[in-house]
A and B are shown apart, each in its own frame.
Chain A
Amino acid sequence: MSHSTAPGEAPAGGDGPTGMTPAPHIAPVAPADSPTADGTPPDGGPPRGRRTGRKGAKASAPPGGITWRHRLRRDRALVLMTLPALLLVLVFAYVPLLGNAVAFKEFDPYIGESFFESFELSPWIGAENFQRMWEDSYFWAAVENTLLIFLIQLVFFFPVPILLALLINSIISPRVRAWAQGVLYLPHFFSWVLVITVFQQILGGAGLIAQTMREQGWGDGFDLMTDPGFFKFLITLQAIWKDAGWGIIVFLAALAAVNPDLYEAAAVDGAGRWRRMWHVTLPALRPVIALLLVLRVGDALTVGFEQILLQRPAVGTGAAEVLDTYVWNVGLENGDFGYAAAVGIVKGVFGLLLVLAANKTAHLLGEQGVYKK
């Protein structure tokens, strides 16, 4: 999301002198006010800020001998500080990208002593795994389930935090507000295992509803936790229970930022409660809604992996197999690592395309989206 805050920043290239003052820490806020030797770009324009001056800076000689070597020596403590996290990210986010190469192999992890030996010994098979995917009806069933769950959650889950935020925002008593928020935030911090076990106590075969029905003689066998037909709504219900309350934070912040004068002006102009909500409140929420929608659509292929995996045995794979659980099942359960990695790659590539497409749409509609153009 910080992509949106740095207009005109070069995506890379921090090792060239970027037109900074000799002691950037001392005056970091207003670089434009402290023109230095290289503060003036070659085109003779006014001294530019550090962030916008990169065009000219690369051409001009480093002022006062501030080379990258000097800057490295000066900032070595800062660089040192970033290294542990950077190393972890490189190892656990970037290195596995290379491991995706097993998708083009008939990979058997136990053929050799180590991973590399196994990798050596496993034969290359080209795009065979991807071809197999095309003809795999289980794969397409997983795709269908994934998209269905995404759509159901978009329709039933997405609006809930917005409505809850409007409700909380209209409460005037600060004490009621604080208590309500405290209760609504709480389930966000529960683990999925806990959420599902809680749901089991209410909706399960030995749960409260089934128990009451038995006692009243209204029939036996009520169990929504193992009902494949209800499963997609069940996990939506669980997601709402767990995270709808947490989702209101962002909207409350946007609502708190609305200038109260706007409401007053609208009221003076004769707008009633609902018209004020339509013409003042909703426009204030629009950018946030657009941003969250973009994020949600970009993440469409990821639908509650842990949540679904935990309940998969209870309802069966017909209703509960989504792309992520399919990868898990094929790879880690059946040991078909190459094929599972291929499915993972396809999911990742389409996920990235979805992010870009959703963002593009947001731009076309005049919203900001996740990052700027």
Chain B
Amino acid sequence: MSVLTEDREQEGAGARMRPAWEEPPSPVGLAAKGAVLAAACLAILFPLWIVVVTSLSSAETIREAGGLVMVPDGITFEAYRELLSGGQVTRATAVSVCVTVVGTVFSMTVSVLCAYGLSRPGSFGHRPMLMTLLATMFFGAGLIPTYLLVQALGLIDSYASLILPSAVSVFNILVLRGFFMNTAPELIDSARIDGAGEFRILWKIVMPLSRPVLAVISLFYAVGYWSAWFNASIYLNDQSKMPLQVVLNQIVLKGERPTGMSQVINTGQIHTLSVQMAVMVLALVPVAVLSPFVQKHFKKGMLIGAVKG
């Protein structure tokens, strides 16, 4: 299959290279396939388009359209300027960015170390340690005991409660471990003979060779932290500490006014709708920008996860 794909790639996009034995495509079949695919992509992109366009529309345009705007009529960044010039949403965005960055670095450090520590065959105690991790994929402790634990540890209303309980994903560790196990053993052996310690081998040899999987797993962790809503909703009481997803829920689903800017909305200079849509875009942009860069590695990461994980 991959050989065929490469041939096709040389032919250029759109060029058809069918094996001789395959029937020529029927025009009806082609049209049907194209229609289904276009419909699927449109079902994803069209709602996002409306959200983005409405967030960039002036109050007038929104009133003319009677609500959501499909066709842009002039672009204004008023809603964003207002949201990001201090106040609730600015703070929530900052909290989310910080939690995501700190959490991802922490999770990656812990996971990469663990995955490498378990990736050398026959090392001391790796089997019971691995089984300890694996077993957690079959049971969950349950919401109530976990909440009581976080409470007993004194983490309520702390940012640590947004990071520590979800810091380690066993699945991610297994994917990393699968990748590390495939690193050429000769390289590692020769480094060891040259006197390199395990940390140096990991840092200088294994990690540079594992960039694709590191990118994928970092994205998974980052998206996890960025998108998390539930932990913040139960572990945080202090409104000023809420991350963006909680605020997004308050402003768009519950229809509350963002604090610190309601006057501008009340006077009608900025439409509530464009403010709501702008908060949605703030939650959307980081993942929409980052994930395509890592896209080509997804399959690799998932594949190894499926085979070895």
Contact = CB atoms under 8 A, between A and B. Distances in A.
Interface of A: 1-3, 5, 9-15, 18, 20, 24-26, 28-29, 31, 50, 68, 71-72, 74-82, 84-86, 88-100, 102, 109, 114-116, 164, 167-168, 170-176, 178, 180-187, 189-194, 196-202, 206-208, 211, 214-215, 241, 245, 249-250, 252-253, 255-258, 260, 263-264, 267-268, 272-273, 305-306, 309-310, 313-314, 324, 327-328, 331-332, 337, 340-341, 344-345, 347-348, 351-352, 355
Given A99-B144, A193-B227, 12 more contacts: A93-B141, A97-B145, A115-B151, A173-B13, A189-B287, A193-B248, A193-B283, A249-B302, A252-B299, A257-B1, A260-B1, A341-B144
B73 interface: no
B198 A341 contact: no
B142 to A, nearest CB: 3
What are the 5 tightest A-B residue pairs by CB atom distance, in nearest-first order? A99-B145, A191-B227, A96-B141, A81-B117, A85-B114
Nearest to B23: A273
A96 B125 CA distance: 24
Interface of B: 1-5, 8-9, 13-19, 21-23, 33, 36-37, 40-41, 43-45, 47-48, 50-51, 66-68, 70, 109-111, 113-114, 116-118, 120-129, 131-134, 136, 138-149, 151-152, 164-165, 167-168, 170, 173-174, 178, 185, 188-189, 192, 197-199, 202, 219, 223, 226-230, 234, 245, 248-249, 252-254, 276-277, 280, 283-284, 287-288, 291-292, 295, 298-299, 302-303, 305-309
Nearest to A88: B168
A183 B41 contact: yes
A193 B8 CA distance: 41
13 contacts: A12-B131, A28-B185, A31-B122, A75-B123, A89-B132, A93-B136, A102-B145, A173-B16, A184-B40, A256-B1, A272-B23, A314-B253, A327-B144
Greatest chain A CB density within 10 A among B5, B36, B123, B138 is at: B123
A215 B165 CA distance: 49
Contact of B283 (A11, A191, A264, A355): A191
Contacts of A170: 33
Contacts of A20: 122
Given A97-B141, A310-B249, A189 B223 contact: yes
Contact of B168 (A89, A172, A208, A327): A89
B142 A327 contact: yes
A80 B68 CA distance: 56
B253 A200 contact: yes
Main secondary structure of the interface of A (DSSP, over half): helix
Given A78-B117, A97-B145, A190-B227, A90 B132 contact: yes
A81 B308 contact: no
Contacts of A355: 138
B227 A78 contact: no
A359 to B, nearest CB: 10
Contacts of A197: 248-249, 252-253, 276, 280
Contacts of A200: 252-253
Contact of A92 (B21, B126, B149): B149
Contacts of A201: 47, 50-51, 68, 277
B141 A99 contact: yes
B125 A332 contact: no
B144 A344 contact: yes
Contacts of B144: 99-100, 102, 327, 331-332, 337, 340-341, 344
B284 A194 contact: yes
Greatest chain A CB density within 10 A among B50, B117, B188, B291 is at: B117
Contact of A337 (B148, B185, B230, B252): B148
Greatest chain B CB density within 10 A among A85, A185, A324, A328 is at: A85
A59 B26 CA distance: 69
Contacts of A11: 127, 131
A118 to B, nearest CB: 9
Nearest to B283: A194
Contact of B230 (A167, A190, A306, A345): A306
Given A84-B114, A252-B299, A77 B198 contact: yes
Nearest to B301: A249
Nearest to B151: A115
Contacts of B50: 201-202, 208
B200 to A, nearest CB: 10
Given A5-B307, A114-B152, A96 B146 contact: yes
A171 B44 contact: no
B287 A100 contact: no
B147 A214 contact: no
B295 A181 contact: yes
B128 A15 contact: yes
Nearest to B114: A85
Contacts of B128: 12-15
Contacts of B145: 96-100, 102, 341, 344
A100 B142 contact: yes
A193 B149 contact: no
A360 to B, nearest CB: 14
A190 B287 contact: yes
Contacts of B131: 11-12
A348 B292 contact: no
A80 B117 contact: yes
A168 B1 CA distance: 13
Contacts of B164: 88, 92
A301 B148 CA distance: 22
B291 A198 contact: no
B240 to A, nearest CB: 19
A173 B8 contact: yes
Contact of B143 (A31, A85, A264, A324): A324
Contacts of A82: 113-114, 117-118, 126, 129
